[in-house]
Amino acid sequence: KNGLDGWLRYAPLPCSHQCHSKLPSNIVTLNQTTRSPVYVAGSELQKGLKEIYASHVQIHHGQHGQCKDFSAVIVGTVAQYRKTCGPADEVPHLDEDGFWLNTKGSHVRILGQNEKGTLYGTYEYLSMLAQGNFSDVAYSTNPSALIRWVNQWDNMDGSIERGYGGPSIFFRGEKIVDDLARVIQYARLLASVRINAVVVNNVNANATLLAPENIQCLGRIADVFRPYGVQIGISLNFASPKTFGGLNIFDPLDTTVIKWWSNITNQIYQRVPDMAGYLIKADSEGQPGPQTYNRTLADAANLFAKAVKPYGGIVMYRSFVYDHNLNQSNWKADRANAAVDFFKHLDGKFNDNVVVQIKYGPIDFQVREPASPLFANLLNTSMAIELQVTQEYLGQQSHLVYLAPLWRDILDFDMRVDHKPSSVRDIVTAKRFNRKLGGSAAVVNVGTNTTWLGSHLAMSNLYAYGRLAWNPTDDPEDMLRDWIRLTFDLDRNLLDTITRMSMDSRPAYENYSGNLGIQTLTDILYTHYGPNPASQDNNGWGQWTRADRTTIGMDRTVKNGTDFSGQYPPEVAAMYESNETTPENLLLWFHHVDYTHRLHSGKTVIQHFYDAHYQGAETAQGFLDQWESLQGKIDHERYEHIRQRLEYQAGHSIVWRDTINNFYHNLSGIADKAKRVGNHPWRIDTGWPFRDCFWLCGYCHRSNDTAGT
């Protein structure tokens, strides 16, 4: 099997005694309308039982008598159950999209607050069965938030911005593809992890999506997702009225512009009555926006908010707005300040169906960033967190980097707003400031590749994203173990091995790319891949390291630096203001120090760099051996694909290690105490773009540590 089924593989399992006594012999669904989520739930259950336990089970569509069938699994909403089967007094209160799963007693009941919830519960039950788990459970679960979206960065020409898994499953040649079979498979995967909306096109949006024939085709995409409880949304290009609509203006307060957008919105909702809403990137990285007309970002957001309001739609307005022409000679200038600078004064000015979508860190999906201070600055505005399943700066799916621990670091961070507990998790799920809306969105770059993301192991990130969107306190390792069992096998050794590799992967990547908060140090101008520390400075796109011969790090303090630390509430600001209290993994994010500055470990910053890069690369090289110990336990296709990726990573981690270490060694002139750095006269350092070439020489890493030569 290839990777298309992801974690819904339903791999065959032997049916033990317990299994025989617990497997249902009938499925009763309480809605017989085909293409309803409850109907889909029934079919999915039938498929799962057949594939996992070779059990051929009939589906019955809700008749009164069947509710009493002792060995049935009953699937429906609480309301449908009451209507067909009678009282449901045991079912606790459920929130929207929530469900109750009861496997105790004579029959299994999966009852959702709505049809979507029922489908989620069905996947939950199937996930138990696929892990050989027949325990008696009775519990309900509810989502932490109603916005659990993914954002595709797919272009109309079929390419995917930051896509590493082949071309788009949605678009080709400026049109929507005819064959949507892959979209159905994607819908299954998304529904199984309780994602409820997908924005199908790139935030750098192309207005031709609004052409009448494309709107019709968007309807086809929505029709495919609907039975799985997934709504669609679209990204808009702010200048569309002018570039596409024939007006000579796109001012958000101009009446002809307002009318134009409302007209387009009406046309879309006629074809897609349940469209989730719009996603807007404006005034960012060269994209048009309201600033052209001296209008505020809130003017822009509210323009769309009013257009979708009658349909119950929402507007996700991205806070990723910054000036990419900032000049580093100004000591106060700092890209990290941008989101708060642009949005804080607009707090309270957004309509109630606007949600400001905030990247988790102040810069851009780096391996370690402090949580964006904007989360603590919009007390009267709905917010959502933006994550990236796409490993844009994190090895582009050619490196194993399991991201749930990174996301948890951010979600758990306590902003101490008004000196009260204020985790990012409670803020974005709308609890902390009592908002109506909140949640999360993740950029996902699935493509037509049979691995979906370009790497089988990267799928753990998509799986974990869905789980965290539902419950942001889910444990990264637990989620991972479920994913491994569902994706590969229940074998203990396999489970432990992939768990260990994945849990070690982000620390390894951080160690060999950029540590102590200096950031990922990829090439920043073009590829966002491979080491290029020099590219981080002297342009507005970079994180800026301000590294010179004796010192390194961004001074972001209020006292001497860019004032960024002052954007946090007082307790957090005070922590970051001093290099004594700043966590060391963010030291160089907030402070400019000598290379000889001593860390708590007693090591100097520069020696820590050297050691960490060696350690990270060594860990990554160990992944390959660990993986190879699993040969025979995984089908050849997936085993070999992953093996090649890990072999490549093993070599590329050495390229990272040596490029970064040599760069700072040359700059600082400070010797490595262990005498490694600078002592490889035969080694060629690479900058970017080395990727394609490196595929060819990935094999040499084993021979005496000489990869990269």
Residues engaged in binding ligand BDP (CB under 6 A): 161-162, 203-204, 281, 320, 364-365, 392, 528
Q: Which of 416, 418, 420, 423 is nearest to 575 (CA)?
A: 416
626: phi then psi, degrees, rounded to nearest 5 = -60, -45
Nearest-angstrom CA–CA distance, 623 and 262: 54
| Cβ at position 285, least distance to ligand BDP in Å | 6
CB nearer ligand BDP, residue 148 or residue 318 = 318
| Cβ at position 151, least distance to ligand BDP in Å | 9
Q: Catalytic: 285?
A: yes
| Cβ at position 396, least distance to ligand BDP in Å | 11
Nearest-angstrom CA–CA distance, 339 and 318: 10
| Cβ at position 289, least distance to ligand BDP in Å | 12
| Cβ at position 393, least distance to ligand BDP in Å | 7
134 CB-near residues (< 8 Å, 6+ apart): 18, 19, 22, 103, 128
Nearest-angstrom CA–CA distance, 698 and 652: 8
CB nearer ligand BDP, residue 3 or residue 277 = 277
CB nearer ligand BDP, residue 161 or residue 563 = 161
CB nearer ligand BDP, residue 442 or residue 457 = 442
Choosing from 97, 154, 392, 658, which is the catalytic residue? 392
390 dihedral zone (left: phi>0; alpha: psi -120 to 50; beta): beta
Q: Using CB positions, name the residue nearest to ligand BDP.
A: 364
CB nearer ligand BDP, residue 239 or residue 430 = 239
Q: Catalytic: 637?
A: no
CB nearer ligand BDP, residue 161 or residue 685 = 161
Work out the angle between the directed axes of helices 636-668 and 492-513 (0-180°, nearest 10).
Answer: 20
| Cβ at position 369, least distance to ligand BDP in Å | 12
Choosing from 69, 254, 274, 285, which is the catalytic residue? 285
Choosing from 115, 334, 364, 647, which is the catalytic residue? 364
For 687, half-sphere exposure in the C-beta direction (CA atoms, 13 angstrom radius) is: 11
Residue 549: Cβ within 10 Å count: 11
Burial 141-173, CB ≥16 within 10 A → b, else e: bbbbbbbbbbbbbbbbebebebbbbbbbbbbbe
| Cβ at position 649, least distance to ligand BDP in Å | 21
298: phi then psi, degrees, rounded to nearest 5 = -70, -35
Nearest-angstrom CA–CA distance, 457 and 3: 10
Asked if 70 and 21 touch (Cβ cutoff 8 Å), the reply is no
45 CB-near residues (< 8 Å, 6+ apart): 27, 57, 73, 75, 122, 125, 126
CB nearer ligand BDP, residue 130 or residue 316 = 316
CB nearer ligand BDP, residue 204 or residue 292 = 204
| Cβ at position 318, least distance to ligand BDP in Å | 7
**198: β partners:** 150, 232
26 dihedral zone (left: phi>0; alpha: psi -120 to 50; beta): beta
Nearest-angstrom CA–CA distance, 287 and 281: 7
Under DSSP, the state recorded for 678 is T
Q: Catalytic: 477?
A: no
Burial 574-601, CB ≥16 within 10 A → b, else e: ebbbebeebeebbbbbbbbbebebeeee
Catalytic annotation, residues? 285, 364, 392
